Amino acid sequence: MTKRLYIETVGCQMNVLDSEMVVADLRKRGYELARDLAAADVILFNTCSVREQAENKTYSALGRLRSFKKQHPDKVIGVIGCMAQKDQQLVFSRAPYVDLVVGPGQLARIPELLDDIAGGKGPQIAVSLGRKDGPTADIKRSHETFDPLRDPTMRPTPFQAYLRIQIGCDKFCTYCIVPTTRGPEQGRPPEQIIAEARVLADQGCKEITLIGQTVNSYKYSSGGTTTRLSDLLVSLSQIDGIQRLKFVTNYPKDMTDDLLTAVRDLPKCSPYLHVPVQSGSNEILARMKRGYTVEDYREMLDRIRATIPDPAVTSDFIVGFCGETEDDFQKTYDLVAECRFKNSFIFKYSERPGTKDAELYADDVPFEVKNRRNNELLELQNRISEQDSQRFLGERVEVLVEGPSDRARHRGEDAGDIVQLTGRTPCDRIVVFDGNPRLIGEIISVAIYEVSPHTLFGAVVTQEAGQTLLSVG
């Protein structure tokens, strides 16, 4: 009998991709997707541990299922992903009605574990080895994932896909739980990556975003040859059908010239670089153990801007890190004003048990101060983003059309002749315009007539007569 699966995903691109894999794997074994919890036989939460708030949300969602599980004891509830790896048995202690706990490195075992639960073996757990739990090779193997299963129907759009090139992280920034939950850094073999990109191209995928925690540190050595990210980009550029290549997230210290030149010279490579700086204070960067100074970051940014014409550079920041003074924060504020990022993701520091920070420093910046710094930095970044967007007024941009905009979806207007559509430029700017849904999946030209900090508004360029743009949806 067909079983129904409901899956909820929070967190980063890695989790989005992991969910795609899990669904593809279970579909192969006869599962179908359910639209909601009530219709599902198996309910999975793919979780994030990077900030406490993400975990609290998952535990609240589990709490709401307590009585539901009493009424439906046959439904299987599973917690998978980073919080499963970090909390392990604690998940069962906090929510004793959970049946399944699976870390991100063990997702391939889900079908077998579901069979065990159905066979009456009780709650099941599969997690990877801890960073000190044995020989490195064993630890690495226990964190490996199963990427080749691709399911276009599980992606937000079938013509865009994430492709993991690197697992884990070895940087050990003192605030970060990722090296614990995702294990040691390992580059995937280039042959596997290229084969997977071909599968994606055959499925109609036009844009691939390569993902890794420090994607530009990617290296794979075999038979005396080392493949770097720049080499991979050259190989992937040769695949017919793939029209855009992006990669996230970059680590400032590993932004080498060969990579910047590849981005400049390969027409399929988007000039979009997400390179988080995290703080503008050298004291804070040292305590974060980021491995660079503000001066190093500035030098890197200068090289990016000297090599790539009109690059879109974005960053992450943590405000209210342990011991962050007003002076430290001012330095961060000044750096944002100076660097003029396309946009920045700003996070309030969240202490994570198991990290060096939690061991070494006190989480001593009051919540209200974190909040104020967060708002001030966000306000500055929004102003910069809006000013930056102005230069697109009257310009044409190339857009990969993703689908109906949020507004069109909410209004249920995604089936008519002309609807509000959304897509992205090669530099990752969001563009909204009216057009026929048959444009979805196409790369088209859009003339921009209005901008906001994070969105460009325009009209489809359908015909050109001399200097005049005729734009009809």
Give how far Cα 338 sits from Cα of 215, 345, 417, Å.
25, 17, 45
Using the contact rule CB under 6 A, the part of the chain among 12-20, 119-127, 167-175, 425-433 near ligand SF4 is 167-175
Task: Tell me which stretch binds ligand SF4 (CB under 6 A): 27-35, 74-82, 136-144, 165-173.
Answer: 165-173
What residues contact residue 310 under an 8 Å CB cut-off, 6+ apart?
271, 427
CB half-sphere exposure, 210, CA atoms < 13 A = 31
Question: For residue 450, what is the enclosing H or E element?
Answer: strand 443-452
Residue type, 11: G
Amino acid at 257: D
Segment contacting ligand SAM by CB under 6 A, of 54-62, 346-354, 422-430, 454-462? 346-354
**The token pair that represents 293 in the structure block:** 């100074």
- Considering only residues 246 through 275, tell me which ones interact with ligand SF4, judged by CB under 6 A: 251
Q: Does 179 bind ligand SF4 (CB under 6 A)?
A: yes
Stretch that binds ligand SF4, among 37-45, 166-174, 332-340, 452-460 (CB under 6 A): 166-174
Residue 51 contact, options ligand SF4, ligand SAM, none, Cβ 5-8 Å cut-off depending on partner type: ligand SAM
How far apart are alpha carbons 159 and 424 in whole angstroms?
Answer: 12
- Candidates 68, 146, 172, 345: give the one binding ligand SF4 (CB under 6 A): 172
CB of 172 vs ligand SF4, minimal distance in Å: 6
**Where in 227-246 is the site for ligand SF4 (CB under 6 A)?**
none
Q: Are 261 and 234 in contact (CB under 8 A)?
A: no
Cα dihedral sign, 266-270-273-274: negative
Nearest distance in Å: CB 370, ligand SAM? 10
The 267-306 contact track toward ligand SAM, x by CB under 6 A, reads ---------x-x----------------------------
From the CB of residue 289, how many other CB atoms can be counted at a distance below 10 Å? Answer: 14
**Least distance between ligand SAM and beta carbon 210 (Å):** 13
Number of neighbouring beta carbons within 10 Å of residue 375 = 12
One residue of 249, 314, 381, 405 binding ligand SAM per CB under 6 A: 249
Rounded Cα distance, 413 and 436, in Å: 12
Q: Which of residues 393-452 bind ligand SAM (CB under 6 A)?
A: none
Partner that binds at residue 57, options ligand SF4, ligand SAM, none, CB closer than 5 to 8 Å by kind = none
Q: Per CB under 6 A, does 213 bind ligand SF4?
A: yes
Distance CA 145, CA 242 (A): 24
Is the distance from CB of 131 to CB of 139 less than 8 angstroms? yes
SS3 content of the chain, % helix, strand, coil (to 5): 40, 25, 35
Residue nearer to ligand SAM on the CB measure, 196 or 254 = 254
CA distance 124 to 155: 28
Using CA atoms in the order 64, 66, 67, 69, what is the torsion angle rounded to 10 degrees?
120
Minimum distance, C-beta of residue 252 to ligand SF4, in the bound complex (Å): 10
DSSP 130: P
Q: Rule CB under 6 A: choose which of 188, 268, 352, 373 binds ligand SAM.
A: 352
Indicate the pairing of strand 443-452 with strand 160-164.
Answer: unpaired
Nearest approach, Cβ of 91 to ligand SAM (angstroms)? 20
Stretch that binds ligand SF4, among 168-176, 223-231, 255-263, 345-353 (CB under 6 A): 168-176
User: Contact 365/320 with Cβ under 8 angstroms?
Assistant: yes
Cβ at position 182, least distance to ligand SF4 in Å: 8
Q: Which of 4, 57, 141, 171 binds ligand SF4 (CB under 6 A)?
A: 171
Mark residues 1-20: x for contact with ligand SAM by CB under 6 A, - for none: -----------x--------
SS3 268: coil
3-state secondary structure of 45: strand
Report 30-59 residues binding ligand SAM (CB under 6 A).
50-51
- The only residue of 17, 107, 169, 277 in contact with ligand SF4, by rule CB under 6 A: 169
CA 316, 320, 321 angle in degrees (round to 5)? 80
**Among positions 46, 124, 214, 425, the unique one binding ligand SF4 when judged by CB under 6 A:** 214
Based on CB atoms, which residue is closest to ligand SF4, 165 or 444? 165
Does the footprint of ligand SAM cover residue 175 (CB under 6 A)? yes
Q: What is the largest CA-CA distance in the chain?
A: 73
Which C-beta is closer to ligand SF4: that of 41 or that of 357?
Answer: 357
- Residue closest to 22 by CA, chosen among 42, 2, 51, 48: 42
Query: Considering CB under 6 A, how many residues would be counted as binding ligand SF4?
Result: 10
The binding site for ligand SAM (CB under 6 A) comprises: 12, 50-51, 175-176, 178, 213-214, 249, 251, 276, 278, 316, 318, 347, 349-350, 352
The binding site for ligand SF4 (CB under 6 A) comprises: 169, 171-173, 176, 178-179, 213-214, 251
